[in-house]
């Protein structure tokens, strides 16, 4: 068996929400495997930390981009900026996410909206934005990262679980 079909060297990978946790590990792995990586997020401090990781060790130096992915206009601006920096994405990884841990009856409407905006709405419109170019080129991959809570739920995280179920449903659709 060859590993040729799993080779990512030279691919352009955009990771949304990649400044921490799973996204950061994916960014580092793709970069060390030879991919050109851009991590997009909103937290300047986390992005600065990610930038250090993306320039140390083997592989092409990665980049970071600060962007608000909560609205389609911000997503379009981020897509345009990543294309300007490295060209069109060969792979988009959506792993953005936030939560508020508390009983559902204590969750405010604003907290609920913030969770769904970050975890579901931004993923939906990010996939659409990047998929347009991939469809036109007849090439590309989109990976969405959900959570175990998308399959079994978590106590004190009802909105988070529902938002991750939404991403699983979008991905299946």
Write out pLDDT tens, residues 130-164. 999 999 999 999 999 999 888 888 899 999 999 99
User: Which pLDDT score, from 0 to 100, does residue 29 have?
Assistant: 93
Mean pLDDT, the chain, whole residue set: 94
Q: Confidence class of residue 6 from pLDDT cuts 50, 70 and 90?
A: confident
Q: CB under 8 Å to 172, separation ≥6 — which residues?
A: none
Q: Count Cβ atoms below 10 Å from residue 122 Cβ, excluding itself.
A: 24
User: Which pLDDT score, from 0 to 100, does residue 2 have?
Assistant: 62
Spatial distance between the Cα atoms of 32 and 27, rounded to a whole number of angstroms: 9
- Asked if the model's pLDDT at residue 48 lies above 80, the reply is yes
15-43 pLDDT, tens per residue?
999 998 999 999 999 999 999 999 999 99
Q: Confidence class of residue 58 from pLDDT cuts 50, 70 and 90?
A: confident
- Asked if the model's pLDDT at residue 3 lies above 80, the reply is no
**pTM of this prediction?**
0.94
Buried b (16+ CB within 10 A) or exposed e, 17-30: bbbbeebbebbbeb
User: Which pLDDT score, from 0 to 100, does residue 57 have?
Assistant: 84
């Amino acid at each position: 068996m060859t590993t040729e079909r799993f080779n990512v060297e030279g691919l352009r990978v955009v990771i949304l929400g990649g400044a921490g946790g799973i996204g950061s590990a994916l960014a580092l792995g793709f970069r060390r495997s030879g991919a050109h990586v851009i991590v997009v997020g909103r937290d300047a401090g986390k992005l600065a930390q990610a930038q250090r990781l993306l320039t140390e060790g083997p592989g092409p130096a990665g980049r970071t981009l600060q962007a608000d992915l909560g609205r389609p206009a911000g997503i379009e601006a981020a897509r345009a900026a990543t294309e300007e920096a490295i060209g069109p994405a060969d792979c988009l990884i959506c792993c953005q996410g936030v939560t508020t841990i508390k009983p559902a009856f204590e969750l405010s409407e604003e907290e609920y909206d913030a969770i769904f905006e970050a975890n579901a709405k931004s993923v939906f419109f990010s996939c659409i934005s990047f998929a347009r170019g991939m469809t036109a080129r007849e090439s590309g991959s989109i990976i969405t990262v959900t959570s175990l809570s998308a399959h079994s739920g978590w106590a004190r995280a009802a909105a988070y679980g529902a938002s991750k179920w939404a991403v699983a449903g979008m991905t299946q659709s």
